[in-house]
Amino acid sequence: MQLFSEQADGSAVARIPPQDLHAEQATLGAMLLEPEAASRVLAILDDGDFYREAHRIIYRAMQAVDRRREPVDLITVSAELRREGVQDEVGGPEYLTAIIGEVPTTAHVVRYATIVAEKSLLRKLIAAGMEIAAEAYDNPPDVRALLDQAEERMFRIGEKRISRDFQPIGPLMSQTFDLLDSTYHERSRLTGVPTGLIELDDITGGLQRGHLVIVAGRPSMGKSSLCLSSFSLAASTGEDPRGVGIFSLEMSSMQVAEQLMCSYARVDGHRLRRGQAAEEDWGRIASALARLPNCKMFIDDTPGISIMEMRSKARRLKAEHDIGLLIVDYMQLATTGDRVMSESRHQELAMIARALKGMARELDLPVVACSQLSRSVERREDRRPVLSDLAESSAIEAEADLVCFLYRPMYYERRKQFEKRSQEIGEEAARREMREAEQQPEPAEVIIQKHRTGPVGTVNVMFHPRWRLFFDAERGPGPPPRPAGAPPASARPTEDSEA
């Protein structure tokens, strides 16, 4: 790869790409000197990481020797080069002997290899940048597609960065003990982000960092409500508030904001949209508006967002605002940005699920993704979902650390009653009856069918259809919020006390 820079007089001068031939020689020489050094480097570098072609050939010979489980040394590598007929291309045995002489010590072989890898990374960044610039100069009609391809190139380069090495168990044990000890002394049942549901927190310990959490259900079962009105509000408005990022692929940002406001204020969103809100509703809304804008909650409503773009935005959001929870509503509406892959929906969803799990681990926070269920649920007498009902891809089940299904028996009961009453009194009258029935809370179940780090089971909760809010059956929905800085209701002066 030859680079050029323009001088003041307009002439072009060749520039050599980033490389360190001494580090390459020291790396290869250390590998020839000591088998342990060779095994450490082979876990770090690819042959393409070397700048000089001769060094690439030598390294490929070392890889071939290692694959045959032979020791990597001067004799075995020379024999492999002769067998491949490329000994003269690298300078023969004399060059191998010469690079051994370049090694001051094999103790620093990992550092030498790291230098080689870093220079390789710089060359890849330069190459990708030149390709992106060339395509941009061609003035493509779809600029967003070019931007997505550019981000994908950079993401692939980032994925090839030097991976983590093995870690000794001792320090990990100490960190684990410290976490458990602090949890014990603080008498806290939570080690993760709260969900707003006490029994669910008791089972899970909260939403754990690095975990992919799937909330699945049939349409209108309340997936978005559980994630937005329970999880995000509990995380951002609790005693230890965390930042929350929301990718809303189904609803616009305004719709999400409206649902959050209605759920938090405990008001009927349907009446509010029709201009029929009561006087007390406006007071609750004012209280919600005094608090919610101060929450660290961020919404992206890009329709059909690619998983690469989502990952890029999540990285920036984590870096700029240190969010503690990421919500994706819902994953079947995301894309891979790969036209070939999109022809196989099963493969595309598998890739999306793997990317979401990778995002949770990379950003070290819980990622909660809503997921649809297949229609097979509707064909059973018992409509409680099971893992095989996850729509379109078993990879979702495989990648998830926690899978929660939502089940509301009254939803199906009301649907049955609506069909019956429509025949008796007409569809419009039956619809009014159904809306009246939705004014009261109803029982619901959060069914945990996969839990990688704990038990499974069913959490019995309540759901208010008009508030779009899940809450604990015993504790209730709690009082509507007070304005920031307002005294509790018991402390407010009454007419008698004022008198």
Full pLDDT tens readout for the chain, 499 residues:
555 454 555 544 567 889 999 999 999 999 998 888 888 888 788 888 999 999 999 999 998 888 888 888 899 999 999 999 998 888 888 898 998 887 888 888 889 998 998 899 899 888 888 888 888 898 888 787 787 677 767 766 765 554 555 567 777 777 777 767 776 666 666 788 888 888 898 898 889 999 999 999 888 888 888 998 888 888 888 778 888 999 998 888 888 888 888 888 788 777 777 776 777 778 777 877 877 777 888 988 888 888 877 887 888 888 888 899 999 988 888 887 655 445 577 778 888 888 899 889 888 899 999 988 878 777 787 888 888 877 666 778 888 899 999 998 888 777 777 777 777 787 777 777 777 666 778 889 999 998 998 899 999 998 888 888 888 877 777 665 554 444 444 433 343 333 3
Residue ranges per structural domain of the chain: 11-158, 188-407+440-472
Contacts for 207 with CB less than 8 Å, ≥ 6 apart: 192, 193, 194, 195, 213, 231, 235, 325, 366, 368, 402
Q: How far is CA 396 from the centre of its chain?
A: 13
Instruction: Report the distance separating Cα 182 and Cα 65, nearest Å.
Output: 50
Instruction: Report the distance separating Cα 445 and Cα 409, nearest Å.
Output: 9
Instruction: Report the distance separating Cα 77 and Cα 65, nearest Å.
Output: 7
Contacts for 262 with CB less than 8 Å, ≥ 6 apart: 268, 269, 272, 467, 468
Count Cβ atoms within 10 A of the Cβ of residue 3 and give its class: 0-12 exposed, 13-18 middle, 19 or more buried.
Answer: middle
DSSP state letters, 244-298? EEEEESSS-HHHHHHHHHHHHHT--HHHHHTT---HHHHHHHHHHHHHGGGS-EE
Instruction: Report the distance separating Cα 365 and Cα 158, nearest Å.
Output: 20
Residue of 273, 274, 227, 276 whose CA lies nearest to 254: 273
pLDDT of residue 451: 92
Phi, psi dihedrals of residue 243, rounded to the nearest 5°: -75, 145
pLDDT of residue 423: 74
Give the side-chain half-sphere CA count within 13 A for 151.
Answer: 18
The CA angle 77-81-86, to the nearest 5 degrees, is: 155
Instruction: Report the distance separating Cα 447 and Cα 454, nearest Å.
Output: 14
The CA angle 326-306-396, to the nearest 5 degrees, is: 60
pLDDT of residue 493: 38
pLDDT of residue 386: 84
> CB–CB of 245/327 below 8 Å?
yes
* Strand-strand pairing, 402-407 and 442-451: antiparallel
Q: Which residues pair with 3 in a beta bridge?
A: 15
pLDDT of residue 491: 37
Instruction: Report the distance separating Cα 314 and Cα 155, nearest Å.
Output: 13
CATH superfamily of 188-407+440-472: P-loop containing nucleotide triphosphate hydrolases (3.40.50.300)
Alpha carbon distances (Å) from 357 to 353, 365, 395 = 6, 10, 11
Q: Does domain 11-158 have CATH number 3.30.470.20?
A: no
Q: What single letter denotes the amino acid at residue 260?
A: L
Residue 391: count of CB within 10 angstroms of its CB: 18
* Strand, coil or helix: 93: helix
Write down the residue that tokens 């990379």 correspond to: 362
Instruction: Report the distance separating Cα 432 and Cα 410, nearest Å.
Output: 16
pLDDT of residue 161: 55
Residue 148: count of CB within 10 angstroms of its CB: 18
Q: What single letter denotes the amino acid at residue 476?
A: G
pLDDT of residue 213: 94
SS3 breakdown of the chain: % helix, strand, coil, rounded to 5? 55, 15, 30
- What does R_g of the chain's alpha carbons equal in angstroms? 30
Residue 64: count of CB within 10 angstroms of its CB: 17
Instruction: Report the distance separating Cα 385 and Cα 215, nearest Å.
Output: 12
pLDDT of residue 370: 92
pLDDT of residue 486: 44
